Structure 1
Amino acid sequence: MSAERPPAELDITHQDFTDCGWEEVLNNTERDGYMSMWQAFHAAAKRATADGQQSHAKVLWLLGDVCSMMLSPKSINEPFKPAIVMRGQRSAIPEDLSDPDIAFLSGIVNTIDDPWLKARLADLIWLRKRPRDIRFALMAIDSYRSIPIDRETWVFDGQECWERAMGLARMLNAGSGERLKEIEEAVIRAFESSTRQDGFLVLGLAGLLFDNGLGRDERSTIAQKLESLAREFDGEGDLHSAREFLKVSAKWFKAAGDNEKIAEMTVAVAESFVKEAEARIESDKPSHMAAAGFYEDAIQTYRTIPHSERPVHRVDERLKELQLRLNESGKKALDEMGVISIPGIDLSQYIEDARSSVHDKSTMEALEAFANLQPYSNVKELRQQVIKKLQKYPLQAIIAGVMMGRDGRVIARRPGMSLGDTPSEDDEIGIRAEMVHDHGIMVGMVVQGRILPALEVLQLEHRLRESDFFYLASRSPIVPIGRERLFGMALFAGYDYDFVTALHLLIPQIENMVRFHLKSAGVKTTTLDSKGIETENGLSTLMGLPECETMFGEDLTFEIKALFCDAYGPNLRNELAHGLLDDRACQSAYAIYAWWLCLKLVFNMFWNATHKIDGSSGEAAA
């Protein structure tokens, strides 16, 4: 990137800023916070460089750099951090701005009417200009607080901007005038006008006030509104949202010193778990296994209520009732499970080998070893193994099979097979189903015997941060442009054992990655219906295209299908898209393996690209 930059000694003027087209860049950019601005400015800078407009390119590079910095409003001393840090390199930080840069920014900031850009420039000038000029801090505060408060903006840096405005106003104290009070009032107004449709924006606003010690005079009012919204969610059957609102409501009631309401909210949380348990039992496909989990959650919640508040809510009696229900559901859950006994497998040597493979290595060597603990499944070998197994046990092949979902639905049927010299269409379906089944067994062994033991050593010996994974994703050719941060967040989440977050981030990005590379190869990825409406195909349809094996290889194509879009496997894409994965399923061996497979793919593409650039002949194993 630095090789494309104009010379550092090149002077830029206010006229260069006026003529560089920065407003057009922002107007033509789909805004999702500072990251989109960063990418848009740098892309425009590259175009300007290609056109020989060096002065314009330098202005756009500078604007991109200032937008690239990650805002961390809770830090007083370092509110801006680099977005990417890895292998001794990083993206821009405030200290990279030279005195001429600061002087240039000081000269243009007053002419900017975009609140996002104006806030960022004024904030950086305030931090770097010497002597400090309070006018820029006030300008930053006023620009930050002019950013709208809505659901989309809040997610894409809006919350951090408002929190930074609070921090600056508090830092200036009397020097900020009435700004902190006005910010508090604005957030409270937004909170008061929010509705159930605003969803978790309401919790974000309440959390911002609570974490910054604001809204003290409205504590009871805030708590009551959160409770009211929780009751609405509960009435609609959205028990998860209801619980989240009840928990935050309890925090505000605690701040207001209302112990009775704290206990009442806790009881409501517990009873929402009971409702979920009852709903699972009374559904068309009852599951006592799921109900038992919810009963256990309810019991644990009830136990947090202080003894002084228990008599009012009959807590002790309710605990006894729920324990009986838990025991009953636990017994009935056994009837829901079929038992297949297989000989135990000793994984101790696999575990030791996995640990040794990453132990006492540099960070890059350890990551390379971790990413290549297991090769991709060999589809041809797996197919032959399945055919031999079915020929050895023909009864297993002849009898048709049914695949059940975790909620009891029939989600796939495997026809009986004849397994003649030339496999029939039904035979091929059955062979495919058994291949996916055997792949699942392998996944469990690899996760327990290789991935988790090696990950434990990797974490003990190396401190990797989210920014490291951002850098890894940004340098990996497999990651589509604009998706680097999402991939980085997902990879870091799994590294941090947060496989729930990792899975929810990864699955949509894997689908987008497949679509991106197919489109880049000229493959049609859409369907045109009879009304002339063109829609993007989902992952299952995309992976069924013959071009996938050409592009990704037969083995990787099978892995993606088996994990994400095959009803005979975990079918993670469909299960997640329809909200069918619970917390436990998101932390299963399949989820962990899916995260590791994505890390393997991203890292190996990064490694190969880096070594190709460096002129090295070594490549990571695929």
Structure 2
Amino acid sequence: MNKTVLVKENFNKKQFDEIITSNGLKENYEYSKRFYQEMKNTDDNTERLIYQLFGDITSYHLDLDSKGIPYGPYLITKDRRSPSIEDLNEEELSFLDDIIEEITNSEIKARVADVLWIRKRNYQKAMIACNAYLQAYYQMVKPESWNSSTQRLERAVQLSKLFRKGKAKENILEALDKEIEKYSNEKKSLFLHHLVELMLKIQKSNFTKYAEILKKTAQSLEKEKDWRLSGEYWNLCSECYRYDKNLVERDQAKEAYGNTYIMLAYEAIHNNDTPIYAVASVHLNNAIEIYRRIETARDIVKKLHIEMLEYQKKAVKQMQKIEISNIDISKITQDVIAEVKEKSFREKLFILSTHWTTLDIKAIEEQARKSLKENVLDRFLPTVKVNSEGKNIHKSSSAYFHDQESAEFKEALKDEMHKQSQIYRQMAVQAMICPIQEQIRSEHFFMLRDLLFLVVNNPFIPEGREQIYAEGLLAGLRGDFLISTHLLIPQLENSIRYILANEGEIVSTLNSEGIQEEKNLNTLLYNPKLKNLLGDTIVFDLQGLLVEKSGHNTRNLVSHGLYNYNEFLSVPTIYTWWIIFKICCVCQYSLFK
């Protein structure tokens, strides 16, 4: 049987246009459905190949945050995936190159030209894609539902950066400038905000006029007491002033940004039947982080810090203790999947961070004492822990001591508590963390930008580390714990140094030669002040998870290259991702609203 070869003459433009004709421009995934349907309906083998080719191309997912190829399969399961850009062969690419000028639909033309640019590195196709994306944006744009249209505009911006100068880049700059002017009074969404963000990605000067537009919008939103949205506009306003080195105006915008969090804290106290002090303290924490970055705002920081401490004390009194007994893992898994199903992406993240509490130290200590009492042999003989190669890596103390106040008994009790904690973590991973992650991946396509709200202005994350945290959280949420572990553990160590240093703690050592070395997690996690900052349970959990030899000791094993590939898919690395994710979320809970 002869193989069908696609050539330009096989392309029936009239028939192609009839398939995609509709009221208004549709998104590629809508066209993909139509092409696949036509593929099923036709008996002509050549037509079937053409419809399948266009069905495949229009099905690709566009990931604008990707550092490599921005297109990938829209669906990936354990044993299969949908079509992807690397599947295209030379014959198909040649066919697309021959017919690109025949395609008049801007959405499909932009996609085909973009695919040809990525696979063949033809700059002419990048220029065609750039112009087609711009046309698609104009045909789709609606300020009230702007996400789809601005994705096309953003991809055009990305492609225009290939050209240092020339018509393509000039067209984009001119288009963005006109759109910002056109929608300068648009304040019901982040549409205007996103347009200015795109301008920041392609141009690095002359931003004062955009800052003034953002300032006007932020002030208007403040009059309506929309503190969340006005805060977003003040933050970008300060960035625009920074690009133009207008430092006084930048700090004024930052102060206004910080004030939006103070007002949100005020609302949490005064606009509810019962004051919600936990939410108010989170807002004040965010405000403090912003004001700390303004040199002239030290007095404001001190005042807000005192107020936040007062709110935190009141928040503790409002908290309730939750006890769980007779846990049925299968029932928990069923319940949690039912709870997150069809919820929004952010709602799922919120549930993932809150559904399972961290360790109950008192319950674990009680269980450890009971275990030591019942397991008589363990009380007499020390327990030896071995690694995957059979090497002895830890030897726990014998618990056979009548004096339970002795150092030896306390050491044995601590070892047993860390052993018990491992069971708890395994339950958390199997019953809750992995099932929710899988549900998120099955229902949502998410990118790096979708997690930035967790890390920006987060009091736990030092300035300049936000992108690293976001990359690590994204990798773990996608199931790549090899990447998440290597990114997040060092950043956690740095963050703990950061919050301890902010409390006046010394986080470095001085050796006999006068060399200063930063303290690592093996020391930092035992600083008494840390329990005041993160809480007893999280600190104990981190100790057993990351540095205790009787626990998982993940930090030290990973740092010394003692994990093989499969061990990065195990309970310790998954739980490490989750607890760091939880800490990030705790500081930003108010943003889930």
TM-score, normalization by structure 1: 0.51
> Within the alignment, does 1:261 sit opposite 2:266 as a pair?
no
How far apart are the structure 1 equivalents of 2:2 and 2:358?
50
> Within the alignment, does 1:189 sit opposite 2:178 as a pair?
yes
> Residue in 2 aligned with 1:381?
none
> Residue in 2 aligned with 1:90?
81
Q: Which amino acid aligns with 2:189?
A: G
C-alpha deviation, 1:62, in angstroms: 1.0
> Within the alignment, does 1:584 sit opposite 2:589 as a pair?
yes
Does the aligned pair in 2 maintain the 1:373–1:451 contact within 8 Å?
no
Q: Which amino acid aligns with 1:322?
A: L
How far apart are the structure 2 equivalents of 1:490 and 1:164?
17
How far apart are the structure 2 equivalents of 1:375 and 1:117?
37
Deviations 1:231-283 (A, max 9, x none): 11111111000111111111121111122222212211222222223334443
How far apart are the structure 2 equivalents of 1:8 and 1:162?
43
The one of 176, 194, 205 aligned to 1:204: 194
> Residue in 2 aligned with 1:102?
93
The one of 16, 31, 49 aligned to 1:22: 16
> Residue in 2 aligned with 1:243?
231
How far apart are the structure 2 equivalents of 1:447 and 1:333?
19
2:69 aligned counterpart, secondary structure: coil
> Residue in 2 aligned with 1:380?
none
The one of 23, 27, 33 aligned to 1:33: 27
C-alpha deviation, 1:70, in angstroms: 2.7
Task: Describe how 1:486-497 pairs up with structure 2 within 5 A.
Answer: none
Identify if the C-alpha distance between structure 1 residues 330 and 133 changes in structure 2 by more than 3 Å, giving closer, same or farther: closer
How far apart are the structure 2 equivalents of 1:221 and 1:587?
32
How far apart are the structure 2 equivalents of 1:80 and 1:338?
46
Task: Describe how 1:501-540 pairs up with structure 2 within 5 A.
Answer: none
> Within the alignment, does 1:138 sit opposite 2:120 as a pair?
no
1:272 aligned counterpart, secondary structure: helix
> Within the alignment, does 1:43 sit opposite 2:42 as a pair?
no
Does the aligned pair in 1 maintain the 2:262–2:284 contact within 8 Å?
no
Q: Which amino acid aligns with 1:191?
A: I
Q: Which amino acid aligns with 1:145?
A: L
> Residue in 2 aligned with 1:231?
219
Identify if the C-alpha distance between structure 1 residues 173 and 9 changes in structure 2 by more than 3 Å, giving closer, same or farther: farther
Task: Describe how 1:251-400 pairs up with structure 2 within 5 A.
Answer: 251-283=239-271, 285-289=273-277, 292-293=280-281, 296-297=284-285, 299-301=287-289, 303-307=291-295, 309-310=296-297, 315-316=298-299, 318-326=300-308, 329=311, 337=318
Deviations 1:407-462 (A, max 9, x none): xxxxxxxxxxxxxxxxxxxxxxxxxxxxxxxxx9xx967997999755658999x9
Identify if the C-alpha distance between structure 1 residues 270 and 164 changes in structure 2 by more than 3 Å, giving closer, same or farther: closer
C-alpha deviation, 1:189, in angstroms: 1.8
How far apart are the structure 1 equivalents of 2:258 and 2:94?
59
TM-score, normalization by structure 2: 0.53
Does the aligned pair in 2 maintain the 1:223–1:250 contact within 8 Å?
yes
> Residue in 2 aligned with 1:148?
137
Structure 1 unmatched ranges of 5 or more: 1-6, 358-368, 378-439, 474-483, 503-581, 589-622
> Residue in 2 aligned with 1:123?
114
Structure 2 unmatched ranges of 5 or more: 340-350, 361-422, 455-469, 479-586
Does the aligned pair in 2 maintain the 1:247–1:266 contact within 8 Å?
yes
C-alpha deviation, 1:227, in angstroms: 1.7
1:147 aligned counterpart, secondary structure: helix
Deviations 1:71-122 (A, max 9, x none): 3456675243232333353332333222332232223221221111111112
Does the aligned pair in 2 maintain the 1:270–1:297 contact within 8 Å?
no
Does the aligned pair in 1 maintain the 2:258–2:290 contact within 8 Å?
yes
Does the aligned pair in 2 maintain the 1:219–1:252 contact within 8 Å?
yes
Does the aligned pair in 2 maintain the 1:20–1:59 contact within 8 Å?
no
Identify if the C-alpha distance between structure 1 residues 89 and 28 changes in structure 2 by more than 3 Å, giving closer, same or farther: same
Identify if the C-alpha distance between structure 1 residues 63 and 260 changes in structure 2 by more than 3 Å, giving closer, same or farther: same
C-alpha deviation, 1:288, in angstroms: 4.9
Identify if the C-alpha distance between structure 1 residues 62 and 458 changes in structure 2 by more than 3 Å, giving closer, same or farther: farther
1:91 aligned counterpart, secondary structure: coil
How far apart are the structure 2 equivalents of 1:334 and 1:67?
52
Identify if the C-alpha distance between structure 1 residues 333 and 97 changes in structure 2 by more than 3 Å, giving closer, same or farther: closer
> Residue in 2 aligned with 1:577?
none
Does the aligned pair in 2 maintain the 1:187–1:205 contact within 8 Å?
yes
Q: Which amino acid aligns with 1:222?
A: Y
Task: Describe how 1:468-479 pairs up with structure 2 within 5 A.
Answer: 472=442
How far apart are the structure 1 equivalents of 2:247 and 2:333?
51
C-alpha deviation, 1:204, in angstroms: 1.4
Does the aligned pair in 1 maintain the 2:133–2:153 contact within 8 Å?
yes
Deviations 1:263-317 (A, max 9, x none): 212211222222223334443625152563256236523542343x33xxxx50x
